[in-house]
């Protein structure tokens, strides 16, 4: 089933800002049709949470509804909402590179006040404009409206622009908390003056303040402060420390599954665990967005008790519509590599590449495992969490992972450049199946001990997950 491609003959190019330039319906229809055709041809989510016919009609109606000229920003917003129907956290819609270059040079209005969403409420965190201060709006004030829009409506709408696997919401909440200050001005306007309604705990108040044009927006000071006792493997994105003098409990923090220096890092770490006869491993996978499958397999080999299989599934032999993308050679190489290191099984038109993760004998860790997770635990991180959950040796602390228990659409994710707007769309080529969870759940790995942060916890930079782990292990 394929959409009929709209033919577009060209139109007069005007030298104007890409921030305001509008593309005619014919150009938008062609771009949207190509996006729909690519997704229908290769995306592993088709038929997963909804039927192929459902998606065919969804894209068809979307194309037919493009009857007005739109800016690149407005078109991207519509594509983002469309892509959200795939329930895939690895599918992304990005501005054109030229648009990013222009917007990075532009001095845009921004709110000097930084807000922090917590449990569906929004609080004032800090003021970026150090030249001015508001005597009424204080840190911790609960914000109820910004420019007349209720903040709960802002939060609901903004969540739709954050890609998420299945029906998971923790990933949306996680990234919205860190990016809300950009979302609300991007989606709800950049006025010269902001009008804010808030409560000081006793009564509703409101204040008005001018926008400002910052050179850069600093990252939010969230999460526990770094500890000087950590030993760092910087290139591998790994660090560890012992939580007790007796060296019975190690906290192993993996910030990302990098594809460099991880092998030597794990070798040194698990050798040390064995040498010290450590009994407990606190595996910190919070805020780890994933990365290398080979890295995640290597970590699991030190922790699982018996062999487990992992399947990469794809219904294509080559990328479709290759004139709009590149990297097909790497896709073919991945198919070949998994045939060599694993087993290939073809069922109907789908190729399944099955890899066996075997437990490592040397320096294998046989003690207690406590896993710290949150909505930022995604992709390869959810793979590790799912397989450790299956061992029944691990205790999970935190919140539901951002990635689903059954797997994700990833492996290789090529970018397609749409011919008219030059918007880039990322479309996964493989379905990464966690064979320990053959059924679709649409949900992440659930914690055994759920942790929820308040605004006070966050500004104090408390580490509630680690506190719970130490409590369970009776570490003072």
The predicted-structure confidence for 452-471, as pLDDT tens digits, reads as follows: 999 999 999 999 999 999 99
* pLDDT above 80: residue 287: yes
Residue 420 has pLDDT above 80, yes or no: yes
CA-nearest of 302, 323, 284, 287 to 414 is 323
Same domain? 61 vs 144? no
Residue range 118-128: mean pLDDT, rounded = 93
From residue 246, alpha-carbon distances to 214, 258, 273, 279, 283 in Å are 49, 30, 12, 10, 18
Give the pLDDT band (50/70/90) at residue 361. very high
Tokens 């303040």 belong to residue:
209
State how many domains the chain has.
3
Q: Which of 105, 127, 159 is the C-terminal boundary of a domain? A: 105
Look at residue 11 in the predicted model and tell me its pLDDT: 47
pLDDT at 84: 96
**Is residue 393 included in any domain, yes or no?**
yes
What 3 state SS string does the chain have?
CCCCCCCCCCCCCCCCCCCCCEECHHHHHHHHHHHHHHHHHHCCCCCCCCCHHHHHHHHHHHHHCCCCCEEHHHHHHHHHHHHHHHCCCCCEEECCHHHHHHHHHCCCCECCEEEEEECCEEEEEEECCCCCCCCCCCCCCEEEEECCEEHHHHHHHHHCCCCCCCCCCHHHHHHHHHHHHHHHHHHHCCCCEEEEEEECCCCEEEEEEECECCCCCCCCCCCCCCCCCCEEECCCCEEEEECCCCCCEEEEEECCECCCCHHHHHHHHHHHHHHCCCCEEEEECCCCCCECHHHHHHHHHCCCCCCEEEEEEECCCCCCCHHHCCCHHHHHHHHHHHHHHCEEEEECCEEEEEEEECCCCCCCCCCEEEEEECCCCCCHHHHHHHHHHHHCCEEEEECCCCCECCEEEECCCCEEECCCCCCEEECCCEEEEECCCCCCCCCECCCCEECCCCHHHHHCCCCHHHHHHHHHHCCC
pLDDT at residue 401 is higher than 90: yes
Residues 309-340: tens digit of each pLDDT: 999 999 999 999 999 999 999 999 999 999 99
Is residue 326 one of the residues assigned to a domain? no
- Asked whether residue 53 falls in the same domain as residue 97, the answer is yes
Greater confidence (87 vs 136) lies with: 87
Range of the domain at 39: 22-105
Pairing of strands 231-233, 308-314: unpaired
Rounded to whole angstroms, the Cα distance separating 385 from 381 reads 6
Average pLDDT of the segment spanning 95-119? 93
What integer is the mean pLDDT of 81-110? 94
What's the rounded mean pLDDT across residues 176-189? Answer: 93
Instruction: Please tell me the predicted confidence (pLDDT) of residue 8.
Output: 47
Considering the domain boundaries, does residue 424 fall inside one?
no
Same domain, 138 and 61: no
Q: What is the pLDDT of residue 138?
A: 87
pLDDT computed for residue 15 by the predictor? 66
Regarding whether 393 and 266 lie in a shared domain, the answer is yes
Please check whether residue 275 lies inside any domain of the structure. yes
pLDDT value for 128: 84
pLDDT at 1 over 70: no
The verdict on residue 420 lying in a domain is: no
Provide mean pLDDT across the span 347-374.
Answer: 97
Same domain, 85 and 125: no
- pLDDT at 130 > cutoff 80: no
Rounded distance, CA 419 to CA 417, Å? 6
The pLDDT value recorded for residue 223 is 85
The pLDDT of residue 202 is 81
Final residue in a domain of this structure, among 52, 87, 105: 105
Asked if residue 191 and residue 243 are part of one domain, the reply reads: no
How much is the pLDDT for 9?
47
- Confidence grade of residue 104 (pLDDT, cut at 50, 70, 90): confident
Domain identity same for 89 and 128: no
* Mean pLDDT, residues 80-88 taken together: 97
Q: Diameter of the chain by CA atoms?
A: 74
Cβ-in-10-Å burial (0-12, 13-18, 19+) of 242 comes to middle
Instruction: Give percent of the chain above pLDDT 90.
Output: 87
Please check whether residue 340 lies inside any domain of the structure. no
User: Whole-number mean pLDDT of the chain?
Assistant: 93
pLDDT of residue 134: 57
pLDDT of 137 reads 82
279 phi and psi, to 5 degrees? -100, -25
Round to whole Å and give the CA distance between 423 and 244.
51
269 belongs to a structural domain: yes
pLDDT at 201 over 80: no
- Given a cut of 60, is residue 414 above it in pLDDT? yes
The answer to whether residue 211 scores a pLDDT higher than 80 is yes
Banded model confidence at residue 226, pLDDT cuts 50, 70, 90: confident
Which of residues 158, 177, 210 is at a domain's end? 210
Looking at residue 302, which CATH number applies to its domain?
3.90.226.10
Same domain, 252 and 198: no
Instruction: Let me know whether 365 and 278 are in one domain.
Output: yes
Q: Is residue 467 part of a domain?
A: yes
Q: What is the pLDDT of residue 4?
A: 52
Same domain, 156 and 238: no
Whether 99 and 66 map to the same domain: the answer is yes
Highest mean pLDDT of the ranges 137-141, 152-156, 219-223? 152-156
Instruction: Give the Cα separation of 463 and 225 in Å (integer).
Output: 9
Domain holding 204: CATH number?
2.30.42.10
Among 213-222, 236-245, 282-291, which stretch is predicted with the lowest mean pLDDT?
213-222
Clarify whether residues 79 and 129 are in a common domain. Answer: no
């Amino acid at each position: 089933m394929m959409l009929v491609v709209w033919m577009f003959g060209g139109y007069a190019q005007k030298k104007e800002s890409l921030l305001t330039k509008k593309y005619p319906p014919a150009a938008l229809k062609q771009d949207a049709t190509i996006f729909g055709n690519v997704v229908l041809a290769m995306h592993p989510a088709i038929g997963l949470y909804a039927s192929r016919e459902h998606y065919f009609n969804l894209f068809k109606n979307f194309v037919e509804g493009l009857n007005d000229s739109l800016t690149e920003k407005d078109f991207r917003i519509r594509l983002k909402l469309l892509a959200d129907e795939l329930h895939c956290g690895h599918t992304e819609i990005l501005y054109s590179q030229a648009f990013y270059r222009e917007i990075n040079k532009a001095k845009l209005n921004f709110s000097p006040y930084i807000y922090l969403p917590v449990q569906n409420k929004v609080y004032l965190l800090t003021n970026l404009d150090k030249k001015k201060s508001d005597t009424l709006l204080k840190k911790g004030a609960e914000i109820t409206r910004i420019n007349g829009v209720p903040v709960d409506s802002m939060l609901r709408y903004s969540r739709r622009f954050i890609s998420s696997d299945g029906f998971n919401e923790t990933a949306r909440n996680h990234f919205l908390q860190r990016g809300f200050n950009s979302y609300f001005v991007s989606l709800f306007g950049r006025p010269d003056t902001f009008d804010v309604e808030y409560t000081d705990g006793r009564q509703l108040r409101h204040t008005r303040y001018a926008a400002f044009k910052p050179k850069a927006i600093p990252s939010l000071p969230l999460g526990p402060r770094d500890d000087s006792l950590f030993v760092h493997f910087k290139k591998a994105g790994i660090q560890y420390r012992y939580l007790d003098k007796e060296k019975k409990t190690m906290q192993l923090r993996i910030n990302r599954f990098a594809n460099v220096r991880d092998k030597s890092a794990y070798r040194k770490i698990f050798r040390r665990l064995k040498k010290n006869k450590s009994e407990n491993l606190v595996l910190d996978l919070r805020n780890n967005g994933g990365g290398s499958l080979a890295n995640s397999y290597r970590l699991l080999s030190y922790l699982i008790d018996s062999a487990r299989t992992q399947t990469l599934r794809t219904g294509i032999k080559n990328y479709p519509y290759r004139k709009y993308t590149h990297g097909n050679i790497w896709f073919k190489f991945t198919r070949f590599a998994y045939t060599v290191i694993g087993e290939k099984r073809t069922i109907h038109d789908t190729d399944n590449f099955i890899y066996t993760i075997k437990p490592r004998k040397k320096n294998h860790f046989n003690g207690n495992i406590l896993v710290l997770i949150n909505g930022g635990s995604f992709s390869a991180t959810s793979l590790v969490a799912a397989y450790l959950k299956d061992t029944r040796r691990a205790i999970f602390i935190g919140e539901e992972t951002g990635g689903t228990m059954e797997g994700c659409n990833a492996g290789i994710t090529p970018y397609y450049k749409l011919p008219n707007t030059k918007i880039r769309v990322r479309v996964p080529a493989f379905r990464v199946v966690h064979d320990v969870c053959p059924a679709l759940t649409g949900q992440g790995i659930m914690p055994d001990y759920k942790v929820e942060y308040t605004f006070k916890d966050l500004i104090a930079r408390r580490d509630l997950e680690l506190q719970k782990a130490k409590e369970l292990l009776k570490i003072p």
